[in-house]
Amino acid sequence: MEECISVFDMLKIGVGPSSSHTLGPWRAAERFLSELKSETLLNRVTRVKVDLYGSLSLTGKGHATDLALMLGLSGQDPEYIPIQDIAGIIKKIEDTNEINLGNQNKIPFYFLQDIVFNKNFLSFHANGLKFTAFYDNDKEYCATFYSIGGGFVVKEERINAKNKSEIKRKFPFPIQNAEELLNYTIQENKSISEIVFENEKSMRTETEIDHELIRIWKTMLECMYIGCHSEGILPGGLNVRRRAFDMHQGLIGLANYSNPQEWLEEIRKTEVKFRQILKWVSCFALAVNEVNAALGRVVTAPTNGSAGVIPAVLMYYLVIENHQAGEKEIKQFLMVAGEIGSIFKKGSTISAAMGGCQAEIGVSSAMAAAALVEVMGGTPDQVLMAAEIAMEHHLGLTCDPIGGLVQIPCIERNTMGAIKAINAAELAMETDAKNAKVPLDKVIDTMWQTAKDMNSKYKETSEGGLAIAVNMSDC
């Protein structure tokens, strides 16, 4: 089914550590509450049970799926909840064995019994979850959702997708694949970001688009800032020490600043030899994903596990490549990145549970490479070529998180994805795209075929690869 996917669908503000295992279930809980309200059942509910299936069950503990469900059922919003309040809300539910459903109906809730981890998979998608509300003594209201990656949540009947298909019909430039996008840029003599902007205006005012894009960037910048100034051990039991703090200390020196924007300006003054550039880009990516692993606020880009690539590459552009760049270039970058991500989602997947890590780090690297080429003055076909190069060299990348945590190898993979994105952008800029042998759409098709052929134990189940080669006890 062809449906509209906005830039703001691909770049969502939320809480870590996982878009499919944390943000998705959280949003599913919100949708379940909405259904209960529409059926006038919310205040009649006496008990709620949640069944998790497949990948959500196998790595849900490590991805805080159970915590996300409790927060969602409590009526909390992942985009706006104060991060410092999360631990207290969870502790109160666990201590009292009670949850305030939708923030208006207190009911008994025993999280060890009422959140059930079932290892079997539902047929529609690897990330399934079923909510059951009990009311009026012996009655039940059930709803099954699927967290399909990037914080997207669907039902098997795809009612919302049908609505989005209607919205897409109003787009001046409906896009399903890279070839269509390129044809529009040629036909209209516009850049990719200009085409995307016209489509976005079908859903929002120009002021709203500008405001939301900058809000996304400020969230990314704050996330990098927090990560670079936080030290200690990440939660989860692997005893992973934060590295961005020490790396940042060695790079920033004795600079004086008091907020993220001043920090950005100070970085522009630092030494920019090749090794320092590699370190800065890696530091930015590490910072984001360490915040993500600690249940901090990040932007899915296109997922939480790959949230560090796009901020790192955009920050690289701002502090290394173009010191004069500002909001105009930031908005261009994010619009192009979002559109490339949506093309991958339409043609393949952005879910590691479906496609392995190629669907997360690979896609984020392609998004960042494409966006970087546009802001550096590349042509639309060079933009698409950069995305193709970046993905081509992530094909087949598996997802094998140790202990089901988005820490090893996930955090480091963001640094690699960011560096590959910059390299892909440079290659594309130095190439006549007319000589390209592999179009982006072919790579997306190949990625999807690779995903379907990949053994399930390498798809975010922690049943293969590093996840079993390295035990929690080894860490």
C-alpha span between 471 and 195 (Å, rounded): 48
C-alpha span between 305 and 398 (Å, rounded): 13
Q: Is 254 exposed, middle or buried (0-12, 13-18, 19+ CB in 10 A)?
A: exposed
Amino acid identity at 206 = E
Helix spans in 324-360 (H): 327-347, 352-355
Strands 297-299 and 152-154: unpaired
CA 314 to chain CA mean position, Å: 16
What is the pTM assigned to this prediction? 0.93
DSSP 148: E
Inter-axis angle of helices 380-392 and 410-429, nearest 10? 140
Q: What is the pLDDT along the chain (475 residues), one digit of tens a residue?
A: 466 899 999 999 999 999 999 999 999 999 999 999 999 999 999 999 999 999 999 988 889 999 999 999 999 999 999 999 999 999 999 999 999 999 999 999 999 999 999 989 999 999 999 999 999 988 999 999 999 999 999 999 766 555 555 665 689 999 999 999 999 999 999 999 999 999 999 999 999 999 999 999 999 999 999 999 999 999 998 999 999 999 999 999 999 999 999 999 999 999 889 999 999 999 999 999 999 999 999 999 999 999 999 999 999 999 999 999 999 999 999 999 999 999 999 999 999 999 999 999 999 999 999 999 999 999 999 999 999 999 999 999 999 999 889 999 999 999 999 999 999 999 999 999 888 889 999 999 999 999 999 999 999 888 999 999 987 656 5
Structure tokens at 221: 């910048």
CA 460 to chain CA mean position, Å: 15
C-alpha span between 213 and 201 (Å, rounded): 13
Structure tokens at 65: 């799926």
Strands 45-54 and 13-15: unpaired
C-alpha span between 295 and 287 (Å, rounded): 13
